[in-house]
């Protein structure tokens, strides 16, 4: 296992780390497939069907059309399996995919991990990547959709 502290920090202006993960349907989703075509919003969240995560993803769902108008595709990312993700999507009618980061390698690349009680856990993090693959917004916690949208309009 790579030591989390050995991974370089990421910041706005950096090139986004490339990744490929499967979604809830088992389809591969690769960042490189969107470069030059779409902005990519990654929402790293600790758990399906937990209060904070549900609130955050439902807010994004409610503003989904605003993100679409700004040429942005959205992905939730955490370590849960396809069954958990599909139930979460079905329950809350999310119009976006949830990606499975079972080994937390992508979360690690994006520094979206924290240690709690001796275990790695997903740290709520929002990362917006522009069409050129550059990080244009990065915030830990739960930024408002308007804050993310404003950064897209710049």
Tell me the catalytic residues: 53
Contact predicate 76/43, CB 8 Å: yes
Distance CA 110, CA 21 (A): 14
Pairing label, strands 97-100, 72-78: parallel
Beta bridge partners of 116: 119
Contact predicate 95/39, CB 8 Å: no
């Amino acid at each position: 296992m790579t030591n989390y502290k050995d991974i370089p920090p990421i910041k706005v202006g950096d090139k986004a780390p490339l990744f490929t993960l499967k979604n809830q349907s088992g389809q591969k989703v690769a960042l490189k497939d969107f470069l030059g075509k779409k902005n990519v919003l990654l929402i790293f969240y600790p758990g399906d069907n937990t209060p904070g995560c549900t609130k955050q993803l439902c807010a994004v769902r409610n503003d989904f059309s605003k993100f679409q108008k700004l040429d942005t595709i959205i992905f939730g990312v955490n370590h849960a399996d396809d069954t958990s993700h599909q139930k979460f999507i079905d329950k809350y009618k999310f119009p976006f995919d949830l990606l499975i980061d079972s080994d937390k390698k992508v979360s690690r690349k994006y520094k979206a991990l924290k240690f709690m009680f001796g275990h790695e856990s997903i740290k709520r993090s929002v990362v917006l990547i522009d069409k050129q693959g550059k990080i244009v917004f990065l915030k830990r916690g739960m930024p408002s959709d308007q804050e993310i949208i404003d950064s897209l309009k710049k």
